[in-house]
Structure 1
Amino acid sequence: MPGFFSWIAGFFTKATPAVTPQGQLHDSEETIQAPPPSENTRSLRVLLEENLFCWLLDAAPSKLYATTSPANPMLEELDSRLKNNKMRELPRQPMTLPMLIQALSDESGDRKKLSRIILEDPALTDQLLHVANSPYFRTGEHTIESVDQAVFVLGMDGIRKVIAAALVRPMIAPRNSREALFSKRTWRWGLTCARATEFIAMLDGADASAHFTVGLLPALSYITLHRELHKIWKEQHADSEPDTALIYEALTRYQWSTSRLIAHEWGLPTRYRAFLRQAERPEPGQHLTALTDGILLGSREVLRHANQRNLPEEDLQKALHLTPDQLRQARTILKAALSESAGA
């Protein structure tokens, strides 16, 4: 199952390149796979993926594995919509996004111009102030009361992250009681993964704010797929809901492709989409990217804070490319934000 955690099985067992009779290597997709993962690597996947989805979907493990045919017509329709760009629930590009990207890319850092763009969108202004004062972004005890103040206090790098979260947050907000818990937990997971991705990118000397934005896309892909599948189901089963196993299969099968489609449709910079490709299909011998590390660390900390089964400390350290001190720093940041937001 090509989910966000599918790389774990290959982390300890590398694939062996296939060789043609002429001695030429096949493409990476045609490699002979290494022996089946050991029980230890399988358990890592279970600890992460299974327990994350049990929490997100508020379901027992047995509910995730009810029989779902690979040729399920609901999944086939979902696959067709993705491939033909006919997703009805795909979030539309925010109207101000192109102008915001241009303003944020301006090396002169014109704060007044950026403030004007934000203020022209009242909904974005409200969301930005809400997000800027949340535990994930607050930089002090004083409340940020205006856009100008937010830009000044947070700086250009800080405001980039707040804008990204402010644009995505309304799209993940629940539309009805059925998806209330799922959307709330998905947003919490997405923010935590984005913060972890940002921190690790900063350690790597990479673009931290760009990685933060990309780190939000997996959560947006989950809510998009959840809604699309429910829409497909309702077209044929008006009086019932898709079962948990079908939702789980859809989310894990199409999460990467949906993340990439959102990035493409929103016209995000090429490097953002490159981060997704590198995380989805890492080069042989390449250490994990900031995004894969961030998803792993963010998922583990969210589950830990929610008192769910999660990844043991020694396995977490083994899977990440962080030093023990860097891991402690990252966990301190995430734990503080999770604790404060729980009581907010």
Structure 2
Amino acid sequence: MPGFFSWISGLFASKPAKPLAKETRLFNPAGHRQEANADTSHQLARQLEEHLFCWLLDAEPSDIRKDSSTATAILDELLNRLNNRHMEELPRQPLSLPMLMRALSDETTDRQELTDIILRDPALTDQLLQIANSPYFRTSEHTIESVDQAVFMLGINGIRNVISAAIMRPMMAARNSREALFAQRVWRWGLTCARSSEQIGRLQGADSSSLFMVGLLPALSYIIVYRELQRISKVLPDGTPPGPALIHHAMARYHWTVCQLLANEWSLPPKFHASLMAAERPVPGMQHTPLADGMVIGTREVLRHARQRNLSDEDLARIVQLPPSQIEQIHGIIKTMLQNNSQSSSA
């Protein structure tokens, strides 16, 4: 890998550490015309982000806030891999994705044609049926036993979301016991943010299905960064696994970059890139995008369901730009989804 051996030798060289670049954040409020309100929004967004990482990493706030500047070598190598597109954990484009994207964007595609495309990929077929029968997507007490039945019962819009989840689920499944809790929570968080973004898009007349898929990308990027850090740390002299502060720092800095790399690697349509960019770098004073607000609401709801630190209703309204009636409507949908999953897990 270009630059890898020079990085290893640099670990032992006596040279000053590079200053850390300014972080991007998970939540980036577009701000308000009043500077005081903008400052409050950013402060609340930082709090919500910290609450999320404490839950995802099963850590205390003090663990998240520790100084990670001593890990500059790890962060530099991560950045090097990103710049050179040599991320070992970046998944390649799923084989069925291009054909599925074309079929789903074509209004003339019928149920049988879509079913035939899915059935050509046995692994996708198995995943799709599992996802369709999961509490997150199941629409009745009857088990969905075939792809044709799934398309019929869920409809084109519903099956789009199931396909997105089915494609990404294997990439986000835990590989070992060490990452089991993190992977489980990231998946739950990703689905909640995706569903929230989809619902906002529907209320605003946007493409809700593409918002569901793009809403899953930040969660997948977290898994990728987490695993890449593990790989990098193994070549260090002491082989110490990265701690919560370093993981948080790396994800906060680079997860939007990883999302864009995924969109490029998978040849996703330009609207996916536009949604990601609008959430990462919102225009001050402009209306939030469905993805940006969906991630805030989804995060708040998943933390509330898990009985974690969270934002009040008043504070939530300071970050998102939705009327209270719409926030309450989305809350009801997400609450039901999370409760159904909890009841199924405990059964």
Instruction: Specify if TM > 0.5.
Output: yes
2:31 to 5, 8, 11: 11
Deviation at 1:184, TM superposition (A): 0.2
1:130-166: per-residue Cα shift (whole Å, max 9, x none)? 1111122112221111000001111111111100000
1:237, distance to aligned residue in structure 2 (A)? 4.4
Structure 1 Cα separation of the partners of residues 138 and 269 of structure 2: 27
- Distance verdict in 2 for CA 1:237–1:98, change over 3 Å: farther
Q: 1:226 to 1:281 in 2, by over 3 A?
A: same
How far off is 1:113 after superposition? 1.7
Inter-CA distance 163–59: structure 2 relative to 1 (3 Å threshold) = same
- Superposed counterparts of 1:162-311, under 5 Å: 162-237=162-237, 239-311=239-311
1:124 match: 124
Corresponding residue for residue 24 of structure 2: 2
Assess if the C-alpha contact under 8 Å between 2:41 and 2:319 holds in 1. no
TM-score of the two chains, using structure 2 as the length reference? 0.89
Q: Following superposition, which runs of at least 4 residues in structure 1 exceed 3 angstroms of deviation?
A: 34-38, 40-43
Whether the 8 Å contact between 1:197 and 1:293 is mirrored in structure 2 is yes
Shift in alpha-carbon separation, 1:13–1:71, aligned structure 2, 3 A: farther
1:242 counterpart SS class: coil
* Residue 153 (str. 1) matches residue 153 (str. 2): yes
C-alpha change, 1:238 and 1:123, in structure 2 (3 Å) is: farther
Distance 1:173 1:12, change over 3 A: same
Following the alignment from structure 1 to structure 2, what is the Cα–Cα distance between the partners of residues 45 and 278?
16
One-letter amino acid of the counterpart of residue 197, structure 2: T
Distance in 1 between the 2:47 and 2:277 partners?
25
Give TM-score scaled by structure 1 length. Answer: 0.89
* 1:142 and 2:158 aligned: no
Q: Secondary structure at the match of 2:235?
A: helix
Q: What is the alpha-carbon distance in structure 1 between the residues aligned to residue 163 and residue 42 of structure 2?
A: 38
Please state whether the residue corresponding to 1:343 is helix, strand or coil.
helix
Q: Classify 1:237/1:180 alpha carbon distance in 2 versus 1 (closer, same or farther; 3 Å).
A: farther
| Residue 92 (1) aligns with residue 112 (2) | no
Q: Which has the higher contact order (CA 8 A, sep 6+)?
A: 2
The percentage of aligned residue pairs carrying the same residue is 55
Shift in Å, 1:109: 2.0
The one-letter code sitting in structure 2 at the alignment partner of 1:69 is: S
For the aligned residues, what is the CA RMSD? 1.8
Distance in 1 between residues matched to 2:271 and 2:70, nearest whole Å: 33
Give 3-state SS (helix, strand or coil) of 2:69's partner.
coil
Task: Supply the distance in 1 between the matched residues of 2:229 and 2:240 (Cα, whole angstroms).
Answer: 13
- Separation (CA, whole Å) in 2 of partners of 1:70 and 1:37: 32
Amino acid in the other structure paired with 2:25: G
Structure 2 unaligned blocks of 5 or more: 1-22
User: What is the alpha-carbon distance in structure 2 between the residues aligned to residue 68 and residue 61 of structure 1?
Assistant: 14
What letter corresponds to residue 31 of structure 2 in structure 1? Answer: F
Tell me the SS of whatever aligns to 2:286: coil
Query: Which amino acid is 1:88 matched to?
Result: E
